[in-house]
Structure 1
Amino acid sequence: MTLTTWLVLALVALSVGVSKSALPGLSTLGVALIATVMPAKESTGLLLLLLLCGDLVAVSSYWRQADWRLLSRMLLPVLGGVLVGVVFLARVDDLVMRRTIGAVLLALLAVRAVRWFVDRRSARRAERDAAQDGSGDAGAADTADMPVAVVASVPAGEPAAQRPHLGVGAVYGTLAGFTTMVANAGGPVMSLYLLSVGATKLRFMGTAACFFFATNLVKLPFSIGLSLVTVDTLRTALVLVPLVLLGAVIGRRLLRSIDQKLFERLVIGLTITASIFLLR
């Protein structure tokens, strides 16, 4: 491989580490970057190995904050999505694969934007009604501009995420399984799901860490069977593992300095950027 290829791979490995410890969705940018220097299917296998390394670090750091109730609701839909992804991966070329993932992510973002707008209007209307009845309080103004899903994470203590509708969990679970199988791009789907149920920063990281560790382990035998993971990709991954660990250290320090609202905005911004990359 050329020096340029190794530099890109080094950047991807760092981004995987940071994504697993601070900014979920950043690794999807790695999907786009690595595909510029390697064939898409070969790059998928290499990235899977790097992600598994990052998963080990993330699980060891955040597993105590995982929301197991949310994870249990997604188990069967995710497995179904992975199986659909295996069939899809065996039948389509790289271009169709990338564009399909990008289109799905943008559609989910559009749905979230509509929901945010509706929730914001509902919150403001409730605030006005409460003020007219003389029952408004000073705290209402602080959350009026926030979506209902985010307001749910405001109370003191360690709030639980909202109870998701079973149908919503099934849709997100299936899409997460499908997108992570075909392009290691399940991060943005899972991010949108966790934001939609109001998961706090640490609960977000813990739930995502356990979800992707389990999912990537399930994907590994399929990836070997499809020749996405080979001896060559394993050797390359071993060279890049130290950079994944370095990225994880950087990410953990970064997470401590990011507040909840900035965290959510960064996640959404990275999801949009990744979607556009995949559609190119």
Structure 2
Amino acid sequence: MTPPDLSILAWGALVVGAAIIGLSKAALPGAATLAVALFAAVLPARQSTGTILLLLIVGDVFALWAYRRHADLRTLVRLAPAVIVGLVGGAVFLALASDTWVRRMIAVILLTVVAVTLIRRRAHTEAAERGPRAHRVAAAVYGSLGGFTTMVANAAGPVMSMYFIAGRFPIKAFLGTTAWFFAIVNVTKLPFSIGLGLITVEGLWIDLLLVPVVVAAAFFGRWIAGRISQKVFERVVIVLTIVGALYLLF
């Protein structure tokens, strides 16, 4: 077997997407939604889901190495039942939906998480005033939505970020809990993805070629984490994610 025959522009989009994955794991949680749009624009929608999953797991390994000691394990246990429900629901959707509908669902999910991110910004003060209360309803809603979005589109980053920010997690606890959450969830998704035929030989070739990009970007992201403006970068990611989602939708 040989690597897939893609255009230079397509490979460029995949390389940029892989770099964003590395950066998102090291310093910018939620930015991977742009990588989802890039991969789904270049590859068949179902294949893109499986291909990007393996790269996300590579990024998870780096994140665990960097922030493994800072996780809030009680929060992970609290979220687990709802996340499992969401994962199963997402797997059922993938089994029944056509490639076209998967592509449209990815677009809708991306637009939704962008909207959620903007709403989170407006409600940030109110959320902070409530303090670190982890309500069962919140865990059920965010956990199930996070499980579904990560199974269908690997786009749970902004959803779970809102949950952790609402709980006023300190920065290291935020990054550590996020690292463990997505590492566990992404490994759990592997059997579903294999069973649904989302992981292909062509996708494995692409992953093999892009792993060095993910690792390099992760190290770079850790280095620049305290040297860039988070707000400026988030605004750029939001704009580009909207453009990518609209492209997939129409």
Could you state the TM-score of these two structures normalised by the residue count of structure 2?
Answer: 0.86
Look up the match of 1:176. 146
Amino acid corresponding to residue 60 of structure 2 in structure 1 = D
Aligned partner of 1:47 among 45, 52, 60: 52
Contact kept, 8 Å, 1:68 with 1:207, in 2: the verdict is yes
Look up the match of 2:120. 112
Question: For 2:83 and 2:243, how far apart are their aligned partners in 1?
Answer: 24
Query: Cα deviations across residues 135-156 of structure 1 (Å, max 9, x unaligned)?
Result: xxxxxxxxxxxx436xx6xxxx
Query: Cα deviations across residues 39-91 of structure 1 (Å, max 9, x unaligned)?
Result: 11111111001001100111111010111121111001001000000111122
Deviation (angstroms), 1:264: 7.0
Contact kept, 8 Å, 1:9 with 1:34, in 2: the verdict is yes
Look up the match of 2:77. 72
Question: For 1:267 and 1:197, how far apart are their aligned partners in 2?
Answer: 20
Contact kept, 8 Å, 1:85 with 1:179, in 2: the verdict is yes
Q: How does 1:80-229 map to 2 (within 5 A)?
A: 80-92=85-97, 93-106=101-114, 108-109=116-117, 112-113=120-121, 115-116=123-124, 119=126, 147-148=128-129, 162-229=132-199
Instruction: Specify whether residues 60 and 54 from structure 1 end up closer, same or farther in structure 2 by C-alpha distance, changes over 3 A only.
Output: same
Instruction: Specify whether residues 175 and 275 from structure 1 end up closer, same or farther in structure 2 by C-alpha distance, changes over 3 A only.
Output: farther
Contact kept, 8 Å, 2:54 with 2:207, in 1: the verdict is yes
Contact kept, 8 Å, 2:22 with 2:216, in 1: the verdict is yes
List alignment gaps of at least 5 residues for structure 2. Answer: 1-5
Look up the match of 1:278. 245
Amino acid corresponding to residue 278 of structure 1 in structure 2 = A
Question: For 1:267 and 1:68, how far apart are their aligned partners in 2?
Answer: 27
Question: For 2:78 and 2:121, how far apart are their aligned partners in 1?
Answer: 24
Question: For 1:275 and 1:35, how far apart are their aligned partners in 2?
Answer: 14
List alignment gaps of at least 5 residues for structure 1. Answer: 121-146, 153-161
Question: For 2:205 and 2:37, how far apart are their aligned partners in 1?
Answer: 21
Deviation (angstroms), 1:13: 1.0
Instruction: Specify whether residues 275 and 212 from structure 1 end up closer, same or farther in structure 2 by C-alpha distance, changes over 3 A only.
Output: farther
* Structure 1 segments (4+ residues) deviating >6 Å: none
Amino acid corresponding to residue 94 of structure 1 in structure 2 = V
Indicate yes or no: 2:34 matched with 1:26: no
Could you state the TM-score of these two structures normalised by the residue count of structure 1?
Answer: 0.78
Indicate yes or no: 2:67 matched with 1:62: yes
Instruction: Specify whether residues 19 and 110 from structure 1 end up closer, same or farther in structure 2 by C-alpha distance, changes over 3 A only.
Output: closer
RMSD: 2.3
Contact kept, 8 Å, 1:49 with 1:237, in 2: the verdict is yes
Deviation (angstroms), 1:101: 1.1
Seq. identity, %:
41
| Secondary structure of residue in 2 paired with 1:256 | coil
Look up the match of 1:242. 212
Query: Cα deviations across residues 201-221 of structure 1 (Å, max 9, x unaligned)?
Result: 221111111000100001111
Deviation (angstroms), 1:256: 3.0
Question: For 1:170 and 1:272, how far apart are their aligned partners in 2?
Answer: 29
Question: For 1:169 and 1:201, how far apart are their aligned partners in 2?
Answer: 20
Contact kept, 8 Å, 1:99 with 1:278, in 2: the verdict is yes
| Secondary structure of residue in 1 paired with 2:42 | coil
